[in-house]
């Protein structure tokens, strides 16, 4: 496993991180979840990403149990705050009240005294940015988080956040956007801004939730046990299952074979090719997937291969920066 700096910070993270959205506390049983975490540790993954909202807070509990007993200094644990974790108007968003209550719950569920990176899971237009950043500053200064990150913030929002973080003397080091061969919306604005300001991308859904493995075939029902057949996952993957997308993705298979890579490895290596990417967070419903995906670490894709991928995917790859967005109102 190779490691990269998280943005311009001193923190090193494994360039492949393991995330537990949809899976832990939901799609997969506790034993399978623990087996995936063991596989991640086995291949040298040290960076784990979760969120308070995943599986209604159960995902953090499952990860906390699975990592219990590991040397804390050998792990980087990332979690997030913003999406609803309860029924009340203050159980969501980035108000001081919710941030303070949410970090307390996350630390309890994760069985740790601090998280390495605490991330704003979207931008909250109902809270002054100054209030959010002051709460993050207090969390860092009290030692409950070491660094702060954001997720899916627009370039201008990141710039405003960095200015306040500097004033308040904490480090805003990362952004967590969706990024894959099919979803390139950060390239035009978010990446250049983050390069300038020293933030790294910790990208999610690098395999497009499984679609870039090529296992979903056009005109055929999804494979049994896949995210597309899961109650909690199906709604999220649906937009990627259009026939033109699946047909085009099949055309990547000979390229992956020629490069000696599985389709999943090609997808992960592709996001890691972007130097502003600090890590690719992969999900997995079973340990074999972790072993497959982790082999993408250290893989270099040559210029001809990258060009051939661009030519195939150009008609379907989304690049419009307007797709980087947070809900206009708190959910
Ligand atoms: N910040 C945010 O808003 C946000 C949003 C989404 C995700 N995330 C983070 O990013 C992480 C990864 O997201 P993701 O799960 O969508 O990423 P992904 O790596 O693109 O997709 C993971 C899913 O694809 C399938 N898969 C993975 N490797 C495979 C392989 N080698 N062969 C066959 N199938 C394979 C598995 O699903 P099946 O086996 O069920 O088909 C797996 O659960 C999340 O856990 C979370 O930490 C963050």
Give the separation between CA 43 and CA 16, rounded to whole angstroms. 10
Q: How far does the centroid of ligand 1 lie from the alpha carbon of residue 214, in Å? A: 14
Residue 204 in contact with ligand 1 by CB distance below 6 A: yes
Judged by average pLDDT, the poorest of 205-219, 229-243, 274-288 is 229-243
Q: What is the pLDDT of residues 72-120, one digit of tens each?
A: 999 999 999 999 999 999 999 999 999 999 999 999 999 999 999 999 9
Residue 26 in contact with ligand 1 by CB distance below 6 A: no
Q: What is the pLDDT of residues 128-140, one digit of tens each?
A: 999 999 999 999 9
Q: What is the pLDDT of residues 271-282, one digit of tens each?
A: 999 999 999 999
| pLDDT (average), residues 68-75 | 98
Q: 258-261: list long-range contacts, CB under 8 Å, 24+ apart.
A: 258/305, 259/301, 259/305, 261/295, 261/296, 261/299
Give the β-pairing of 47-49 and 16-19: parallel
Mutate which of 16, 207, 246 to test ligand 1's pocket (most atoms within 8 Å of Cβ)? 207
Residue 283 in contact with ligand 1 by CB distance below 6 A: yes
Give 19's pLDDT tier (boundaries 50, 70, 90).
very high
Give the separation between CA 138 and CA 151, rounded to whole angstroms. 20
Give the separation between CA 52 and CA 47, rounded to whole angstroms. 17
203 contacts 176 by C-beta, under 8 angstroms: yes
- How high is the mean pLDDT of the chain? 97
| pLDDT (average), residues 214-236 | 95
Residue 227 has pLDDT above 90, yes or no: yes
- Which ligand 1 atom is at minimum distance from the Cα of 211? 24
| pLDDT (average), residues 222-228 | 95
| Sign of the Cα pseudo-torsion (7, 9, 12, 17, in order) | negative
Residue 232 has pLDDT above 90, yes or no: no
Q: How far does the centroid of ligand 1 lie from the alpha carbon of residue 76, in Å? A: 19
List, in sequence order, every residue forming a beta bridge with 84; answer none if it has no partner: none
Q: What is the pLDDT of residues 300-327, one digit of tens each?
A: 999 999 999 999 999 999 999 999 999 9
């Amino acid at each position: 496993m190779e490691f990269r700096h998280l943005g311009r910070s001193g923190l090193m993270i494994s360039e492949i991180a393991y995330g537990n959205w949809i899976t832990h506390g939901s799609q997969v049983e506790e034993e399978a979840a623990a087996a995936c975490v063991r596989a991640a540790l086995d291949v040298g993954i040290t960076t784990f990403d979760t969120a308070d909202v995943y599986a209604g807070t159960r995902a953090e509990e499952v990860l906390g149990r699975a990592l219990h007993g590991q040397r804390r200094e050998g792990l980087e644990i990332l979690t997030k705050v913003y999406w609803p974790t309860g029924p009340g108007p203050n159980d969501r968003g980035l108000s001081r009240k919710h941030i303070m209550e949410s970090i307390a719950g996350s630390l309890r569920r994760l069985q740790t005294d601090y998280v390495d990176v605490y991330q704003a899971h979207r931008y909250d237009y109902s809270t002054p940015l100054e209030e959010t950043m002051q709460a993050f500053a207090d969390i860092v200064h009290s030692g409950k988080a070491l660094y702060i990150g954001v997720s899916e913030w627009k370039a201008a929002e990141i710039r405003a956040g960095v200015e306040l973080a500097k004033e308040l003397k904490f480090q805003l080091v990362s952004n967590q956007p969706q990024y894959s061969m099919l979803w390139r919306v950060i390239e035009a604005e978010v990446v250049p801004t983050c390069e300038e300001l020293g933030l790294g991308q910790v990208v999610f859904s690098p395999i497009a939730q499984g679609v870039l493995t090529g296992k979903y075939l056009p005109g055929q029902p999804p494979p049994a046990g896949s995210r597309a057949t899961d109650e909690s996952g199906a709604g999220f993957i649906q937009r990627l299952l259009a026939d033109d997308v699946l047909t085009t993705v099949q055309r990547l298979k000979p390229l992956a074979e020629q490069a000696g890579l599985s389709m999943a490895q090609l997808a992960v290596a592709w996001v890691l090719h972007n130097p502003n990417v600090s890590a690719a967070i992969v999900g997995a419903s079973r340990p074999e997937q972790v072993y497959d995906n982790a082999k993408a670490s250290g893989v270099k894709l040559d210029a001809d291969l990258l060009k051939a991928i661009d030519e195939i995917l150009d008609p379907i790859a989304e690049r419009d920066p307007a797709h980087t967005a947070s809900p206009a109102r708190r959910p």
